[in-house]
Structure 1
Amino acid sequence: MKTPLRSALALPILLAHPAAAQQAAPLLHPMFQDHAVLQRDRPIPVWGDAPAGERVEVTLGSRKLLVRADKDGHWRADLPAMRAGGPYTLAVATRSGGSARAEDMMIGDVWLCSGQSNMEYPVSGVLGAAGEIGKAKDPELRLMTVEKKTSLNPERQFPAPVRWQPTTPETVRDFSAACYFMARDLRASQKVPMGLIDATWGGTAIDAWRPESALAKDPTAQADLALFRTYRADPALASKQFGERWMAWYRARSGDAAGAEPWQATAPGDWAALPSFDPWEKWGVAALAQYNGMLWYRTEVTLTPEQAAKGGASLALGPADDMDASFVNGVPVGVTYAWGVPRLYPLAPGTLKPGKNLIAVGVLDTWGEGGLTGTPEQRAIRFADGSSVPLAAPAGWQWRRAPAGVGDPPHAPWEAIAGFSGIYNAMVAPIGPYGLRGAAWYQGEANAGSPDGYAEKLGSMMGAWRGQFGKPELPFLIAQLSSWGPRVPRPVESGFAQIRDEQRRAVAADPHAALAVTIDLGDVVDIHPANKLDVGHRLARGAEALSYGGKASPSGPWPVEARYEGAVVRVRFTGADQGLVTYNAAQPFGFELCGPAPGSCRFAPATLSGSDVIVQAGTGAADRVRYCWGDSPICNLYDGTGLPATPFELPVR
């Protein structure tokens, strides 16, 4: 999903071998540097790299340990648990004279905050930002931001440098607001140093954050996982195989016969001269001024026999906004969902031919400006020897619209934001077994178009991350999607609502997870609501309950079951501190009764009965009861502490 935070969310394409540009492995891993926070009250793993067999002495305060690097040149020391405090110096030395130090390290609690743009949303964008930034001065609240990168394999090192920094107005300005406000509450209640790791990326789907080990256990992921592994070994072959799937999808949606598709030289249709490589909203074509959909671009490039026979050829294009499917001589060469980033697709031997070669690019835009953009230098056939053949100027290109309603194409499993494991590999795997108190997760908007199975995906991700961090009971705080989008006068189906319920179900199945309900904190016209302060408060409340012995309900009113009692359905709740209350009406509203099929729901009157809600069934049968359903529903059921009841769907028994 493209978002209004677009300028801050430039997306790299997932390359075949991104690890080649990785920094050299240091003696002391970059997680351990000046101002870092180490997790209290549990053994402290410290690691790095040294020559195979090298003896490494690790000292933290009065703790000292001697270990040896393994045959791969990796070493790890597990220091005894320490209580909160500091500052300490961590020193590492080898027998051959190598050394590294990290100063001003604190022992406290470490939280990993991750997800897409609402977790990435910075303090500088919140309500009252100037005041919040001005008072952000806490030397014992330390911040680290992981740069947006992807990799085809789990990385031991970060592909880009990371840095721990104390909280100041300068360091907090671009840091995750929800994460910061959560930790600020916890600092006030726990009185210990806190370390926050911000590993976020707007617009990303959950599969990009799931490690391959989790995907391997998912029956629904096996075909794409096999294709992903093929891509790792042979990108051109995998792109061709996926392109054939994409082509079949397009034919089914467009009605084009084989041989008459836009990527064929004989493609029929009204092709017009391309005005420019600006977004199509700027071409002065009235039909494109507000157009969200697919356009086709095509051109020809002439190659000599020598050029066509060269090895290591690639198709280079400017950025495509949002998604492109690119073809050379009718052969699919690449599909990418990423905006603001030039494309570079390897071409399999035999794709190019002497003489004229047809380049065709289908570009899908789903929000804001769309099109194929960039500079002339970004559009060329490039060869491994460094030579290239430029593609034509705009006058040498043509365009035409795709049929209306083709919809959302299939996604390649190596895409940066919607593919498999790439973001996990580069942004979470390098954190290694670093000690954590817990993790906060705010994501799901990018999965709202295909919400089925999200609960299982989230559950598998939590389990896999817990395995990495060596803590099976690691607390997870899940920020539920807030409201966004049009309000409607009747029951509707909603991908956003289903994601909220999938998040609820994932938390219900996990004794070490809590849900921060945010349905009342949204904005119908902005997918990034600015009230992140209350999101932070609710995440902190969940953390208090899961990790610090807090007595308050972690998530507010929680539906347990729905049962028929004569002509009514009784919905039982737990977790309503100080009882259930309704705002702005004597009765709760937003309840629906539904049959088994989509579109069968009807609003139903309801009343409070202690810790239950009684829903009037009337004469119609009901298989399901829903509450607070829709993109931006209006709901008024809370508990006495001001926490809203979670949106939900339950079977009626």
Structure 2
Amino acid sequence: MRWTTGLLLGLVGWTASEAQAAVKLPSVFGSHMVLQRDQPVPVWGWADKGEEVTVSFRDQSVTVKAGEDGKWSTKLAPLAVGEPATLTIKGTNTIELTDVLVGEVWVCSGQSNMQWSVQAALDSDLEAAATGQSGIRLFQVPNVLAHEPQDDVKAEWRACTPENIPTFSAVAYFFGRQLHETLDVPVGIIQTAWGGTPAEAWTRHDHLDADDDFQPIIDTWADRAQNYNEAEVKAKHAEALEKWKVAVAKAKADGKQPPQRPRDPQAPKANPHYPCVLFNAMIAPLTPYAIKGAIWYQGESNAGRAHQYRELMPTMIKSWRDDWGQGDFPFYQVQLANFKEIKTEPGDSDWAELREAQTLAKLAIPAVDAACITDLGVAKDIHPKDKQNVAKRLARLALVDVYGMKTIVRNGPTYKSLTVQNGKALVDFDNGGRKLISYYNEPLSGFAIAGADKKWVWGTAKIVDEDTIEISHPEITEPVAVRYNWADNPQGNLYSDAYLPAYPFRSDDWAGITVGKLAP
């Protein structure tokens, strides 16, 4: 079954017919916005058919004529950072957007850990009270979905004030603040994130539909929509609620934590997990607004299909780049944090496989990488509160790669190669000129070693030079593979002397536990 479309769900702003008789702009253009510096700046909107529209900013003025469908678009030549100015759009009416800055614009997307607000993060009271952030501007896309690409969203640019900071994405805000402080230029942050959502919901339909490996995703949701029985679902939900009430009463009587309330039923096509619906409603309306790059914190909802994510993530990124039409803009992911029960023995892990898929994305397409945060998580909380260090590690990647600040340490140690000598495994790391260390100078942990029988045991690991670790085990005389921090909640302590953690890795290519899992 190939791709099918449905009805529009939720919001979605202006249509061409509504825009007749007056020049209008999508909401991504507004007072207090930031325009991307040093590259062409697309400006677009709606007007009467054939109406001339003039766009003016600083010393530039460009006139364009609306097409048969009432749509018009033009571009401003690359802009430099300067004082706040007014963007004027004039047709039969005049729109003046004031307090417009020029600087760096980044899109920040993903699921709940990107959506997680400043007011719920570490030191929220101190962070929300910050002033003097006039050079940072915030644009927050609401949670809406659609089954066709949309032209607009209901949102607006806001100044960065103690009133606006608390409800904004913590990772996005802290990332933008780090860029602003380091580069000393205005920064515009576009938050477009929805908790619990998978990557396929953020992917453009023609890209998803073009790969047979993703067909099980499309087919599964199409079948769910076709076979949805609202009455039956409501009856089952009512039954689940009654059982939940009994369980809550028992938990309270026993002095235990009560179970979570069953989620309210949701029609498949109203579900934000449905393929492409978030791209349509929360990404498409933003394009082709000029941006420098994107950061992405997601993956938890795809961990059960981690092997598929190896192709899905590059496909999603390509679909964004195709829609934006400004080439291979930088795209930085956040690797999944350490989470869930700490295992006493080495073994398989879907979260480890998802982290690997995030790492492999940089080999599949250009200008992609991931920040390692396997030391920032919490075993019993999927939403670690330390978003400041998450943002800093993302900022390190951007500041080095995009802005050429080579004095900054980019990231922690990454796996380079494995050799075997005298029954011991030697792992070389790419460490950017830094030295390998164990945190707090404790014995190294987190290294597993296996022979040809593929049975994993914890190895004894030690640093033998500034880039090399030796791993051994008395029962494995002919090691063939090594893994590091290969677990849902890894506890390895290998760092660079810049106190950035080593990335999880495996030297083997043995089939993982998520191979062949293609349907949600």
Tell me the TM-score normalised to structure 2 length.
0.86
Q: 1:19 to 1:121 in 2, by over 3 A?
A: closer
Residue in structure 2 matched with residue 370 of structure 1 by the alignment: 262
Residue in structure 2 matched with residue 523 of structure 1 by the alignment: 378
Distance 1:635 1:61 in 2: 54
Residues 150, 423 of structure 1: 8 Å contact kept: yes
Query: Pairwise mapping of residues 137-216 of structure 1 onto structure 2 (< 5 A)?
Result: 137-158=132-153, 161-216=154-209
Distance 1:274 1:423 in 2: 26
1:120 aligns with 2:104: no
Partner SS state of residue 519, structure 1: coil
How far has the Cα of 1:154 moved from its partner?
Answer: 1.1
Amino acid at match of 1:72: D
How far has the Cα of 1:447 moved from its partner?
Answer: 1.1
Distance 1:565 1:203 in 2: 46
Distance 1:535 1:421 in 2: 27
How far has the Cα of 1:103 moved from its partner?
Answer: 1.0
How far has the Cα of 1:543 moved from its partner?
Answer: 0.9
- Residue of structure 2 aligned with 1:281, choices 244, 250, 256: 244
How far has the Cα of 1:522 moved from its partner?
Answer: 0.7
Residues 463, 472 of structure 1: 8 Å contact kept: no
Identity fraction in percent: 31
Distance 1:617 1:277 in 2: 50
Distance 2:508 2:236 in 1: 56
Distance 2:321 2:88 in 1: 28
As a proportion of its length, which structure holds more strand? Answer: 1
Q: 1:509 to 1:639 in 2, by over 3 A?
A: farther
Distance 2:377 2:247 in 1: 35
Residue in structure 1 matched with residue 256 of structure 2 by the alignment: none
Q: 1:20 to 1:501 in 2, by over 3 A?
A: closer
- Residue of structure 2 aligned with 1:80, choices 57, 77, 80: 77
Distance 1:624 1:29 in 2: 54
Partner SS state of residue 222, structure 1: helix
Distance 2:372 2:237 in 1: 48
The CA deviation string for residues 240-291 of structure 1, in whole angstroms up to 9 with x for no partner, is 3x669xxxxxxxxxxxxxxxxxx8xxxxxxxx9999784632136989999x
- Root-mean-square deviation over aligned CA pairs: 3.2
Partner SS state of residue 84, structure 2: strand
Structure 2: gaps (5+ residues): 254-258, 511-520
The CA deviation string for residues 536-577 of structure 1, in whole angstroms up to 9 with x for no partner, is 111111110121002134321111222333412222211345
Q: 1:278 to 1:587 in 2, by over 3 A?
A: closer
Amino acid at match of 2:109: S
The CA deviation string for residues 11-41 of structure 1, in whole angstroms up to 9 with x for no partner, is xxx9623378644455222111100100000
How far has the Cα of 1:55 moved from its partner?
Answer: 1.6
Q: 1:289 to 1:459 in 2, by over 3 A?
A: farther
1:601 aligns with 2:449: no
Query: Pairwise mapping of residues 251-400 of structure 1 onto structure 2 (< 5 A)?
Result: 278=241, 280-283=243-246, 368-370=260-262
Distance 1:19 1:165 in 2: 23
Distance 1:503 1:422 in 2: 22
Structure 1: gaps (5+ residues): 1-13, 232-236, 245-262, 264-271, 291-366, 375-410
Residues 12, 151 of structure 2: 8 Å contact kept: no
Residues 423, 479 of structure 2: 8 Å contact kept: no
1:64 aligns with 2:61: yes
Amino acid at match of 1:604: G
Amino acid at match of 2:206: S
The CA deviation string for residues 606-644 of structure 1, in whole angstroms up to 9 with x for no partner, is 221220222226536555321012121211100011100
Residue in structure 2 matched with residue 17 of structure 1 by the alignment: 8
Amino acid at match of 2:101: M
How far has the Cα of 1:416 moved from its partner?
Answer: 2.7
Distance 2:470 2:236 in 1: 64
How far has the Cα of 1:588 moved from its partner?
Answer: 2.3
- Residue of structure 1 aligned with 2:497, choices 635, 640, 646: 640
1:499 aligns with 2:354: yes
1:486 aligns with 2:323: no
Q: 1:469 to 1:595 in 2, by over 3 A?
A: farther
Please identify the structure whose Cα radius of gyration is greater.
1
Partner SS state of residue 171, structure 1: coil
The CA deviation string for residues 191-218 of structure 1, in whole angstroms up to 9 with x for no partner, is 1110000001111111111111321232
